[in-house]
Structure formats: C-alpha cells, structure tokens
Amino acid sequence: MVKKWPVLDLGVQPHVPKDRWKLTVNGAVENPVVWTWNDFLAQPQTDIVADIHCVTTWSLYDSRWAGVATKDFLSVVRPKPKARFVVFHSHDGYTTNVPLERFAEPAALLARAWNGTEITREHGGPVRIVIPSLYFWKSAKWVRQISFHAEDRPGFWELRGYHNNGDPWDEERYG
C-alpha cells in the first residue's frame, strides 16, 4: 500500500493545455465525436471511489475520481455491434487495449479529478482513463484518442510482455 501516488510513465510528460485539449473517438462507433474541454465538461459528471493496483505491486486505496463515466460516454458514441475492443492513444505515444465489456464497467471513468483536485500533468491530466478492475497500466494517461475495434490490438506494454488482460484478481501480470 502506498500513501503517496507514484508516477510511472515512459519518461515524457506531455503538457496539454485544456483550451487545446481534444478527444477524438473513432473506429467502430455510430457517432465518432471530437470533444473539446467544454464538450467534456458538458457531459454528466460522475464520482467513484476505487482502489488501484499496479503491476509492480503497489496499490493506491480509496481514491475518489471524478469525470465522465464510461457508460455515459458509450451512450454518446454508441459502439457498433461488431466493436469488442477499445484502444487508448495518448499524447506521449503510449497505447493500451481493453475489452469493451471491461471499459463499460460501472466504475470506469474518463477522469479529470482525483481526491477533489484536477489530475496533475504528471498523473495524466487533463484527462486520463481509470479502470479500477484492471492493472494500472491499462489506465492511459494524457488520453487523446479512443478507438473501437472488432479485433484486439495489443498496446505498448502488451507488446512488451505484460499480460493482454491485466486482471489483478487473477494476477495476470505478465503474458
């Protein structure tokens, strides 16, 4: 368990001002939107409290996250029936993949705040993904694009030996 929240990234922490922030949604969706920061704030906002588990064994307990719930996001973009996988693309070149049904879980969020304050640049602000039911490498920081696919597309760590699924309860660390 950790009290402080460690920073883990590829060594680049992109600076993305909110007035230039955009989220592009594409692939197998009925409504391929591009959201600005104001569009993001205009969506219903949700709070969740969740623990996070990192593959390198630290965990962060009882964090409160705020942002757009993935179920609300999905009701806007409407994945096509063939869509089964989601890939996040980030400003630092990072990518990671999750099954659509995990992305759609009630606690999953497009997060903009953590414990009452905006997510800092080092932790992936303005917006990062939070999927508490999966290891933290699946929670993309500095997300800029979310794409939906019929077939799975392993991301950065998944191509470098991490498990494709990353479920902490099954201890799916390395593939």
Ligand X SMILES: Nc1nc2c(c(=O)[nH]1)N[C@H]1C(S)=C(S)[C@@H](COP(=O)(O)O)O[C@H]1N2
- Return residues touching Mo ion (CB under 5 A): 8, 54, 137
| Residue 112 partner contact from Mo ion, ligand X, none using kind-dependent CB cut-offs of 5 to 8 Å | none
Binding partner of 94, given ligand X, Mo ion, none, CB within 5-8 angstroms per partner class: ligand X
With CB under 6 A as the contact rule, the residue among 2, 7, 49, 150 that binds ligand X is 7
Identify whether 126 is preceded by a cis peptide bond (ω within 30 of 0): yes
| Residue spans of alpha helices (H) in 84-162 | 100-103
Residue nearest to Mo ion (CB): 137
Which one, of 60, 155, 146, 62, lies nearest residue 103 by Cα?
146
Is residue 54 a contact residue for ligand X (CB under 6 A)?
yes
92 binds, among Mo ion, ligand X, none (CB under 5 to 8 A by kind): ligand X
Q: Which of the choices ligand X, Mo ion, none does residue 123 contact, using the CB cut-off of 5 to 8 A by kind?
A: ligand X
50 or 54, CB closer to ligand X? 54
For residues 162 and 137, the answer to whether their CB atoms sit within 8 Å is yes
32 burial level (CB within 10 Å; 0-12, 13-18, 19+): middle
- 65 scored as a contact of ligand X (CB under 6 A): no
- Distances in Å between the Cα of 146 and the Cα atoms of 101, 133, 135 are 15, 19, 19
Assess contact for 95 and 80: CB atoms under 8 A. Answer: no
Query: Using CB under 6 A as the criterion, what x/- string covers residues 79-118 for binding ligand X?
Result: -----------x-x-x------------------------
Q: Does 148 bind ligand X (CB under 6 A)?
A: no
